[in-house]
C-alpha cells in the first residue's frame, strides 16, 4: 500500500524509511523553512512529490469539515490529507487532527514517532463564558490558535474543544 508522509516523517525518519513515500510540494517549501540542511538532504531521497488535484483538496476540506478538524489544519495539512484521500493511501503523521480527519473518512494511519490516537474524536465550539456548545461550522476560520468566533448568548470567545460524552 502507498504511504503519504507528513512533514514530521521528512524531518525525523532516516532516508531509507522515506523511500517510495508520497509528499505534497507544499511540504517541500515548509521543510526548507524549518530546516534548510534537511531539505537539501531530502531532495536526494526517493520521494514522489505531488500537488494534490483540486477535487482532492475539496474532498479533504469536506472530510475535515465534517470531522470538525478543518479550522485547526494548515494549508499544508490539507494538502497532505488530500493526497492520502486521493491515493487511498496509508497516512503517516503525528498530527492528531490529521489522524482524526483521515480516520473519520475510513483511512488508515500510523504515527511517525508518537502513538496514533485511540479513537475518532468529535469537536464542538464551546463558549469560554457560559460554556454553551455549538456545532463547528463548515466555514469556521482556519487558524491554529485563534478564537473561532463569539458566543451568540453571552459574547465570550468560542474555542474548539473535544465534544463531551
Q: Residue 22: how many CB atoms within 10 A of its CB?
A: 21
Instruction: Render pLDDT for 11-52 as a digit per residue (tens, 0 to 9).
Output: 999 999 999 999 999 999 999 999 999 998 898 888 999 999
Average pLDDT over residues 133-139: 79
- Say what the pTM is: 0.80
Segments making up each domain of the chain, as ranges: 3-110, 123-162
Query: CA-to-CA distance for 95 and 78, rounded, in angstroms?
Result: 12
- Which overall architecture, per CATH, does domain 3-110 show? 3-Layer(aba) Sandwich (3.40)
What pLDDT does residue 113 have? 82
* Three-state secondary structure call for residue 65: helix
Instruction: Render pLDDT for 80-110 as a digit per residue (tens, 0 to 9).
Output: 999 999 999 999 999 998 999 999 999 999 9
Chain centroid to Cα 150, Å, comes to 25
Backbone angles phi and psi of 4, in degrees to 5: -100, 125
Amino acid at each position: 500500500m502507498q504511504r503519504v508522509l507528513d512533514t514530521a516523517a521528512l524531518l525525523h525518519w532516516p532516508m531509507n524509511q522515506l523511500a517510495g513515500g508520497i509528499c505534497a510540494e507544499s511540504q517541500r517549501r515548509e521543510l526548507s523553512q524549518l530546516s534548510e540542511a534537511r531539505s537539501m538532504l531530502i531532495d536526494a531521497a526517493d520521494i514522489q512529490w505531488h500537488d494534490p488535484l483540486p477535487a482532492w483538496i475539496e474532498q479533504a476540506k469536506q472530510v475535515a469539515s465534517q470531522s470538525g478538524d478543518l479550522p485547526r489544519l494548515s494549508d499544508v495539512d490539507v494538502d497532505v490529507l488530500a493526497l492520502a484521500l486521493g491515493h487511498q493511501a496509508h497516512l503517516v503523521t503525528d498530527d492528531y487532527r490529521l489522524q482524526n480527519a483521515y480516520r473519520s473518512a475510513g483511512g488508515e494511519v500510523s504515527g511517525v514517532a508518537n502513538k496514533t490516537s485511540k479513537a475518532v474524536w468529535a469537536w464542538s465550539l464551546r463558549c469560554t463564558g457560559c460554556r454553551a456548545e455549538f456545532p463547528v461550522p463548515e466555514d469556521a476560520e482556519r487558524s491554529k490558535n485563534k478564537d473561532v468566533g463569539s458566543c451568540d448568548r453571552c459574547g465570550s470567545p468560542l474555542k474548539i474543544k473535544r465534544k463531551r460524552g
